[in-house]
Amino acid sequence: MLSEGKTGKYFKYAIGEIVLVVIGILIALSINNWNENNKNIKSENKSLVDLKKSLL
């Protein structure tokens, strides 16, 4: 394929694949961060409720 003078086409394909992988990784990281934030908020709320109960 490279010897037939289609290197430009091959590199465009390779770059496209790399871009898709990077976009997928960024989406996965964003979802993970959102999920961790939700866990932290729930934990904080539970701690505040427990603190309120212990003070009453």
DSSP assignment of 18-42 equals HHHHHHHHHHHHHHHHHHHHHHHHH
The ranges assigned to domains in the chain are 2-55
Phi-psi region of 5 (alpha: psi -120 to 50; beta: other; left: phi over 0): left
pLDDT at 5 over 60: yes
The band of 3, judged by pLDDT with boundaries at 50, 70 and 90, is low
Amino acid at 21: V
- Per-residue model confidence as pLDDT tens digits over 16-55: 999 999 999 999 999 999 999 999 999 999 999 999 999 8
